[in-house]
Amino acid sequence: MVTRLQQVVKGAALNFRRTPAEISAAAARLTAREKQVHDKVAAQAQPTFANTIAPLARLENASGGEAALISFLQNVSTDKQVRDASSEAEKALALSRMTSQMRSDVYGSVKKVLDDTQGLKELAPEDRALAESMARQYRRSGLGLSADQRAKLEHTRKRLIELGIEFSRNTNEADGVELFTRAELAGLPDSYFCERATETVD
């Protein structure tokens, strides 16, 4: 039997009028849906491509677009409250995604699908490649390491997420000015300087 993913997810629309409350609610909805799907996959008594790999793939496909749009607002909104809410939403989504990727119970279900050699043979090549890629992603997230090593990795990844978002926020909110001399900008056409203000510094 060949199982194929047939569902097509429509792209989400970029909404510049989202309020901070709407952004926070959307992020909470996405994280709750992610946990729900992962809990269901982890609870499968007989994991298969249809009840394990396919739901995880559909979740990633459906949630990725909306999560990106929520995070994008921190880079373009003229409202600081919206930018801050978007930044916090990105942090919550990233931490939730990291936690999900390090769930040993979910990986156990995924691994059982891979361990079923007969079931793998019955899958279409694309679906088999998807299952193998998903298992590889879990291993790269630390599944397969000892509990102590996973804890250290989780702490490091969490800190990297926090630093990355903090760096992005600082660069977005920065309003400083860097001054360069004409000599330092040698090679730029005269038209570049005509369009920009210049200062004379003693």
Q: Give φ, ψ of 145 to 5 degrees.
A: -85, 165
Rounded mean pLDDT, 133-162: 91
Determine the pLDDT at residue 202.
Answer: 63
Instruction: Give yes or no for a contact between 143 and 104, defined as CB atoms under 8 angstroms apart.
Output: yes
Cα 92 to Cα 28: distance, rounded to the nearest angstrom: 8
Question: Secondary structure of the chain in the HEC alphabet?
Answer: CCCCCCCCCCCCCCCCCCCHHHHHHHHHHHHHHHHHHHHHHHCCCCCCHHHHHHHHHHHHHHHHHHHHHHHHHHHHCCCHHHHHHHHHHHHHHHHHHHHHHCCHHHHHHHHHHHHCHHHHHCCCHHHHHHHHHHHHHHHHCCECECHHHHHHHHHHHHHHHHHHHHHHHHHHHCCCCCCCCCCCCCCCCHHHHHCCCCCCCC
Statement: the pTM of the whole predicted model exceeds 0.75: no
Q: Is the dihedral of CA 31, 34, 36, 38 positive or negative?
A: negative
pLDDT at 174 over 80: no
The strand pairing partners of 143, in sequence order, are 145
Greatest C-alpha distance within the chain: 79
Residues 94-124 pLDDT 10s: 999 999 999 999 999 999 999 999 999 999 9
Residues facing 145 on adjacent strands: 143
pLDDT over 60 at 8, yes or no: no
Among 4-8, 62-66, 116-120, 122-126, the minimum mean pLDDT is found in 4-8
CA distance 5 to 20: 35
